[in-house]
Amino acid sequence: MIVYEDILKKIGLNFRAERMRKALSQEKFAEIANVHTNYIGKVERGEQNLTIKKIVALANSLDISIEKIFYFE
């Protein structure tokens, strides 16, 4: 069974991993993505409901592919 909250957490962890791989703070990522720092924190913790549009915008801000965000082991 697919659990919505689990998917949000995995997406958030993937954003966090990519942000850290690029050595960006949450503050810098938020600045690049033109969102509030609290928003990035919620995304990375899987607490923020994300639209496809926002996922694409955040991925573009990190200059990464959508496949990296939707990669679930």
Instruction: Quick: pLDDT tens for 49-62.
Output: 999 999 999 999 99
Structural domains of the chain, count: 1
pLDDT band at 73 (very low <50, low <70, confident <90, very high): confident
Rg (CA), the chain: 11
Residues 49-59: b if buried by 16+ CB within 10 A, e if exposed: ebeeeebeebb
* Whether residue 48 has pLDDT greater than 90: yes
Q: Is residue 14 part of a domain?
A: yes
Domain that holds residue 15: 4-68
Full-model pTM: 0.93
Average pLDDT for residues 37-54, to the nearest whole number? Answer: 97
Q: Is residue 73 part of a domain?
A: no
More confident residue, 2 or 15: 15
